[in-house]
Structure 1
């Protein structure tokens, strides 16, 4: 009985913790294209993790991850 309760609680916890798709959120490709139109230079991070690093002319940088999130403010 306790095992079943623990399994149900564990599965419920995993379901709650899984990322949910958000409407209206831009994809990585859309955010990279937006940043390029604003004059930033965007390149793959080179680490094989799917992140893209965008750098402006003044040397500041931001990161866009696979899900389209990251530190870029645009």
Structure 2
């Protein structure tokens, strides 16, 4: 009887560890940063800032291109 339980535990432990790791990762991703924002919110802010920077750089490149054409 004990051997049966031991074989079941040995065969299922990788699956249980995988579920435990997944739960840990989900909990860590939901934690807030020091600023109170989640990681996803920080990424969204970074994307918005990158888009603003790209727009400004495109304007500068257009101005330089127009200046060199004259």
Task: Indicate the TM-score class for this superposition, using the shorter chain for normalisation.
Answer: under 0.3
Name the structure where strand makes up a greater proportion of residues. Answer: 1
TM-score w.r.t. the length of structure 2 is 0.28
Structure showing greater relative contact order (alpha-carbon pairs closer than 8 Å, 6 or more residues apart):
1
Query: Which structure features the higher share of helix residues?
Result: 2
> Considering only CA atoms, is the larger Rg found in Structure 1 or Structure 2?
2
**TM-score (structure 1 length as normaliser):** 0.27
